[in-house]
Amino acid sequence: MLNVGELATWVGWIMTIVGLMVFIIHPILSSFTKISSNLTKISHNLDLISRDLEASKSDRLAIHSDLKAHDEKLDEHDVRLAKHDEQLKTLFKGEK
- Model pLDDT, residue 94: 62
**pLDDT, block means (10 residues), the chain with 96 residues:** 84 90 86 95 96 91 94 93 84 67
- Model pLDDT, residue 56: 92
- Model pLDDT, residue 28: 87
With helix as H, strand as E and coil as C, how does the chain read? CCCHHHHHHHHHHHHHHHHHHHHHHHHHHHHHHHHHHHHHHHHHHHHHHHHHHHHHHHHHHHHHHHHHHHHHHHHHHHHHHHHHHHHHHHHHHHHC
- Model pLDDT, residue 24: 86
- Model pLDDT, residue 67: 95
pTM strictly above 0.85: no
